[in-house]
């Protein structure tokens, strides 16, 4: 069975709820894990050299384009080599951390990872997004409708015209309840949400392990 590619993005270290829930997933995963921590080792934003390297004949690459192409190849091959994906991406200011967007920009290459229709290499592979958030964004909450991370990633990762992954999301909420006085009264809901997130992470890991194993032997 091919490996699980885990991408971490929170700079909060061990205190990150997204990382903690992702740890529960990883512990229940059956197989190898390749981990890239974008908070500790961020990738540069896609620049002109990286863009033009994709459309310039290899023999005509500048030194900058050669370096950019090598780096993109590394990220793309790492992505394509995985049988399943785990993305620990907290909700920051209603959207995703910029380090994750930078990584996406490097690996979304037409003809290699996207824009291939039914021939998309990653189509159908399981992908779990763990996205902790400080408040509540579900129906009835004051912030309902202001989560611009999960809908974006469901499109970027799951749309048939992009990577066509089988995307599932886990969203532990109210993570500010233990530390913000205004949210203290929601501490029981936070604890329940966190417990449910860990349980769901373990369940999703077991399911993804089975799925990846079946695909590997098909």
- SS in 3 state form for the chain? CCCEEEEECCCCHHHCHHHHHHHHHHHHCCCCEEEEECCCCCCCCCCHHHHHCCCCCHHHCCHHHHHHHHHHHHHHHHHHCCCEEEEECCCECCECCHHHHHHHHHHCCECCCECCHHHCCCCCCEEEEECCCCCCCCCCCCCCCCCCCHHHHHHHHHCCCCCCCEEEEECCCCCCCCCCHHHHHHHHHHHHHHHHHHHHHHHHHHHHHHHHHHHHHC
Q: Do residues 65 and 56 lie in contact, with contact meaning Cβ atoms separated by under 8 Å?
A: yes
Q: What are phi and psi of 39, to 5 degrees?
A: -75, -40
- Mean pLDDT lowest for which of 60-69, 108-117, 199-208? 108-117
Residue burial 143-156, b: 16+ Cβ < 10 Å; e: rest: eeeebebbeebbeb
User: With bands split at pLDDT 50, 70 and 90, how would you rate the model's confidence at 194?
Assistant: very high
Radius of gyration of the chain (CA): 18
% the chain with pLDDT above 90 = 91
Q: Give me the pLDDT at residue 214, please.
A: 78
User: With bands split at pLDDT 50, 70 and 90, how would you rate the model's confidence at 1?
Assistant: low
User: With bands split at pLDDT 50, 70 and 90, how would you rate the model's confidence at 215?
Assistant: confident
CATH number of domain containing 171: 3.40.50.360
Summarize pLDDT for 157-176 with one digit per residue, the tens. 999 999 999 999 999 999 99
Q: Give me the pLDDT at residue 117, please.
A: 84
Q: Domain range spanning residue 8?
A: 4-217
Q: Is the pLDDT of residue 23 over 70?
A: yes
Q: In what order do the strands lie in the sheet with 4-8?
A: 33-37, 4-8, 84-88, 126-130, 166-170
Residue 10's CB: how many other CB atoms inside 10 A? 24
Overall domain count for the chain:
1
Q: For residues 7-20, give the mean pLDDT.
A: 97
Q: Do residues 147 and 133 lie in contact, with contact meaning Cβ atoms separated by under 8 Å?
A: yes
Q: For residues 63-75, give the mean pLDDT.
A: 97
Q: For residues 22-29, give the mean pLDDT.
A: 98
Summarize pLDDT for 111-158 with one digit per residue, the tens. 999 988 889 999 999 999 999 999 999 898 989 999 999 999 999 999
Distances (CA, A) of 65 to 59, 105, 108, 148, 188: 11, 16, 17, 33, 53
């Amino acid at each position: 069975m091919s490996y699980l590619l885990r991408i971490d993005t929170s700079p909060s270290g061990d205190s990150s709820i997204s990382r903690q829930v992702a740890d529960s997933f990883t512990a229940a995963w059956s197989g190898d894990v390749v981990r890239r921590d974008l908070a500790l080792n961020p990738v540069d934003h896609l620049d002109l050299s990286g863009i033009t390297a994709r459309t310039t004949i290899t023999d005509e690459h500048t030194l900058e384009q050669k370096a950019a192409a090598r780096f993109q190849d590394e990220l793309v091959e790492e992505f394509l080599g995985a049988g399943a994906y785990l993305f620990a991406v907290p909700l920051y200011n209603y959207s995703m951390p910029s380090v994750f967007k930078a990584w996406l920009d490097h690996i979304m290459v037409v003809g290699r990872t996207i824009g291939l229709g039914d021939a998309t290499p990653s189509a159908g592979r399981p992908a779990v997004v763990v996205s902790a958030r400080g408040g509540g964004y579900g129906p009835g909450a004051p912030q309902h409708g202001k989560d611009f991370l999960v809908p974006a990633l469901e499109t970027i990762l799951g749309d048939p015209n992009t990577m066509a992954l089988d995307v599932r999301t886990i969203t532990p909420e109210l993570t500010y309840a233990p530390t913000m006085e205004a949210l203290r009264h929601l501490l029981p809901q936070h604890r329940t949400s966190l417990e449910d997130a860990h349980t769901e992470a373990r369940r999703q890991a077991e399911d993804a392990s089975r799925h990846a194993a079946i695909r590997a032997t098909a």
